[in-house]
């Protein structure tokens, strides 16, 4: 095992301590595993809270700040955070306007966020929940009932976060978050396995010269394995799978996302192929984001997420954002 860590047991806490040192604009509670924007709660503003297992950085803590999340709850590696974290986060960001939980569709996340919503409401906090389930690769998986939540999480957090920063009420922010999720689809590809700190060896066997189509962000099985393909061939398969399910009638946002170990040079080359396929299919592109945003530790590979957008969604996407991992406009 070659990892830049001390011991597996402290990897999340060590990462949070380093994040606190690098980003004084955040309040990082290492002991209770909650990351909050320093100016929270903002008067009259709906709070956005998300979270999930660590190992997918910058998701979610890297998206805390003006224009996106109010707080994030990191769990252990590939493990859901617990309800106490979520309630603590909700209390820290609630200004009286309510809190929206953004939840990826994984069984542990769903159960714990549901429990946290009940506990927060018992404390007088109004809570709404939006489930992200954009992955078209499989109907059910190792960790889910229904589709997995993947790259669309970034679109939901950015667009709903911008609307919340404008002072929109909870009902409207929730409605926008649902619209974004319903308008988004994703498909992922693995070129290598993922190695967790606790295990120290690859979590699944992917023979040399093969790739996995439709992989999940925890290394869950995909649709099929094939001999290694070119970037263009992978784009043909991935974009086709997304478009066959989404069937957009208007322009789309594009996220070409790295799984953690794929260099930007390769991701930009892959994006060129994604844009080619979209052009061939007559799909207009409104905006494109390329980089490692919803990752799986050291997995090599990528995912494609498309979101059909209207003028309001594009405006909210373009709105200023200032977080550790995403910033523009200010």
Would you give the DSSP letter of residue 299? B
- Tokens of residue 78, six digits: 């590939």
Give yes or no: 218 in active site.
Answer: yes
Q: How far apart are CA 155 and CA 181, in angstroms?
A: 8
Burial class (CB in 10 A: 0-12, 13-18, 19+), 152: buried
Contact 49, 83 (CB under 8 A): no
Contact 42, 95 (CB under 8 A): yes
Coil, helix or strand at residue 41: coil
Q: How far apart are CA 234 and CA 150, in angstroms?
A: 18
Q: Show contacts of 277-281: CB within 8 Å, 24+ apart.
A: 277/235, 277/236, 277/239, 277/240, 278/239, 278/252, 278/254, 281/239, 281/243
Residues with Cβ within 8 Å of residue 215, at least 6 apart in sequence:
137, 188, 189, 190, 221, 222, 299, 301
Nearest to 243 by CA among 204, 280, 278, 191: 278
- Tokens of residue 301, six digits: 């590979």
Give yes or no: 23 in active site.
Answer: no
Instruction: Find the radius of gyration of the CA atoms of the chain.
Output: 19
Nearest to 139 by CA among 204, 214, 236, 56: 214
Widest pairwise Cα distance in the chain: 55
From the candidates 23, 56, 60, 240, give the one annotated as an active-site residue. Answer: 56
Contact 195, 9 (CB under 8 A): no
Coil, helix or strand at residue 19: helix
From the candidates 23, 60, 218, 240, give the one annotated as an active-site residue. Answer: 218
Supply the residues annotated as catalytic: 56, 218
């Amino acid at each position: 095992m070659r990892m830049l860590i001390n011991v597996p047991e402290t990897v999340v806490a060590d990462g949070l301590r380093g994040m606190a040192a690098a980003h004084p604009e955040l309040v990082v509670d290492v002991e209770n595993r909650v990351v909050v924007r320093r100016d929270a709660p903002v008067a009259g503003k709906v709070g956005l809270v998300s979270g999930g297992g660590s190992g997918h950085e910058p998701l979610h803590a890297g998206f805390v700040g003006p224009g996106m999340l109010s707080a994030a709850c990191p769990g252990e590696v590939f493990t859901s955070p617990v309800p106490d974290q979520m309630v603590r986060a909700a209390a820290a960001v609630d200004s009286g306007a309510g809190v929206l939980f953004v939840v990826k569709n994984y069984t542990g996340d769903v159960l714990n966020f549901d429990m946290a919503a009940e506990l927060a409401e018992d404390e007088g906090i109004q809570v709404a929940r939006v489930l992200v389930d954009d992955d078209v690769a499989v109907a059910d998986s190792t960790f889910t009932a229904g589709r997995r939540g993947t790259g669309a999480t970034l679109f939901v957090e950015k667009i709903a976060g911008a609307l919340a920063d404008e002072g929109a009420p909870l009902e409207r922010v929730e409605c926008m978050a649902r619209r974004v999720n319903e308008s988004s689809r994703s498909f992922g590809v693995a070129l290598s396995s993922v190695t967790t700190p606790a295990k120290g060896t690859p979590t699944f066997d992917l023979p040399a010269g093969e790739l996995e189509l439709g992989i999940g962000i925890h290394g869950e099985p995909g649709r099929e394995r094939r001999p290694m393909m070119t970037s263009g061939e992978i784009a043909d398969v991935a974009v086709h799978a997304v478009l066959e399910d989404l069937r957009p009638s208007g322009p789309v946002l594009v996220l070409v996302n790295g799984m953690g170990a794929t260099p930007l040079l390769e991701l930009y080359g892959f994006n060129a192929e994604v844009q080619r396929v979209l052009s061939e299919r007559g799909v207009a592109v409104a905006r494109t984001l390329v980089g490692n945003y919803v990752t799986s530790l050291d997995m090599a590979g990528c995912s494609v997420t498309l979101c059909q957008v209207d003028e309001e969604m594009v405006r909210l996407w373009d709105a200023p954002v200032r977080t550790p991992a995403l910033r523009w406009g200010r």
